[in-house]
Structure 1
């Protein structure tokens, strides 16, 4: 038997007793229980956060590139139709005056009245044979004005939900009244004559106004 073995065994027993006494002191310490509790809480919270993040990652579904999301329609998305009946056989004869147009286009969009040239602030429609035709509402709205002007003739104004006002001038046989709700395509009147554009004969002068200012109708009217 090796003479060193008994000594080694005694040393091992003494070290074990020392470790046991150390643990007893730690357990008896007033900070042991609170510290252990905090450690357990930290482990539990860490596990919960891990599980939650993992669940979110697995359940989140990203839309594919082919997914078509619904688009809400704006109340202003309805397009205006031309203010002439489809069977009217009328066409546009005079355009809206634009400062950035060519000289020729500017000249053709001027109206001579009382020895003065006036910029044309809308579209004119007429038939080649100069006969009258039905004038229709370009969009749903409410009639806010019906009047008879000595120069412009009979006229109708309609307020629309998008804030625009459509104006129909040089009318005859007006069929609507103030306060009446009209739908797109409803007949408002027939094309007539006025003093301002006397040479045009039977025709419709049509304007769109935004904030009381005439704007180019081409940006609102549906292309025929």
Structure 2
């Protein structure tokens, strides 16, 4: 009996000594908190709302969004000169403006095949007389590439709302019909033409709105929208046919205008005869 009591007393005293240690109770608290937190997290994971309602992932990135990207409107572009290095070029012949002075109008007439033709564009030449890069003045689509012995090679590029730019007297053409070109893209090299031999190596540049030639000088470094508005307001050439059809004949001389004796008024004998017939 005494031995059992001694054992119990020794066990109780060891337990008391264990709980008297400072780290025992904090350890118990920490362990209890860890167990409770683990139980809460497990419960939340097992009762997830997404499992209850069986949501499906929308996967927006995986859907087919085939809507084509909208290109930047070329109407926001400013009209540029059709040359890669404007500082190295000069204007050889200007646009024939019906509102300009007689002196400027005379300087903008091309003499070809014994006729005068209004110049419906601007001729650019290099200062050293050599060839140079010809670039697109605006972004657009190539709609015409022709070889013309008279005008030289011709490139036509269509832009927004009836605006077309044309490049004549070019060589080494680098585009074809259907090509999409960017503003400033090299499309050819300056060349020559029979129609405007006096300009030498040059590029003849035209701007047309709804088929009507307008003066490019008035719209350089200005937005295309301004060209669309003002060009439709009435600034245009009198005739926009091809230069071959725009012939202005030389004015007739006084001798040509005066009737000849053979084709002029009837002679005195003829007039007297007619008088006698009427009297009879």
- TM exceeds 0.5? yes
- Give 2:187's aligned residue: 188
Write the distance in 2 (CA, Å) between the matches of 1:135 and 1:168: 8
* Aligned-pair CA distance for 1:103: 1.1
Structure holding more helix per residue:
2
Note if contact 1:88-1:133 (Cα within 8 Å) is conserved in structure 2. Answer: no
Write the distance in 2 (CA, Å) between the matches of 1:122 and 1:182: 21
Write the distance in 2 (CA, Å) between the matches of 1:186 and 1:75: 14
Q: Deviations over 1:97-143 (max 9, x none)?
A: 11111111011111000011110001110023221000000011000
| Secondary structure of the structure 1 residue equivalent to 2:82 | coil
- Give 1:163's aligned residue: 162
Write the distance in 2 (CA, Å) between the matches of 1:127 and 1:98: 24
- TM-score, normalisation: structure 2: 0.51
Larger mean Cα displacement after TM superposition, 86-95 or 171-180? 86-95
Larger mean Cα displacement after TM superposition, 81-90 or 107-116? 81-90
| Secondary structure of the structure 2 residue equivalent to 1:129 | coil
Write the distance in 1 (CA, Å) between the matches of 2:144 and 2:198: 26
1:1-224 equivalent positions in 2, closer than 5 A: 76-86=75-85, 89-222=88-221
- TM-score, normalisation: structure 1: 0.64
Note if contact 1:88-1:134 (Cα within 8 Å) is conserved in structure 2. Answer: no
* Aligned-pair CA distance for 1:74: 7.1
- Stretches of structure 2 lacking an aligned partner (at least 5 in a row): 1-71, 223-280
Note if contact 1:172-1:189 (Cα within 8 Å) is conserved in structure 2. Answer: yes
Structure with higher Rg: it is 2
Larger mean Cα displacement after TM superposition, 181-190 or 96-105? 96-105
- RMSD (Å) for aligned C-alpha atoms: 1.7
| Secondary structure of the structure 1 residue equivalent to 2:75 | coil
Structure holding more strand per residue:
1
Q: Give the count of matched residue pairs.
A: 151
Write the distance in 1 (CA, Å) between the matches of 2:171 and 2:87: 15
| Secondary structure of the structure 1 residue equivalent to 2:84 | coil
Write the distance in 1 (CA, Å) between the matches of 2:111 and 2:74: 39
- Give 2:14's aligned residue: none
| Secondary structure of the structure 1 residue equivalent to 2:88 | coil
- Stretches of structure 1 lacking an aligned partner (at least 5 in a row): 1-72
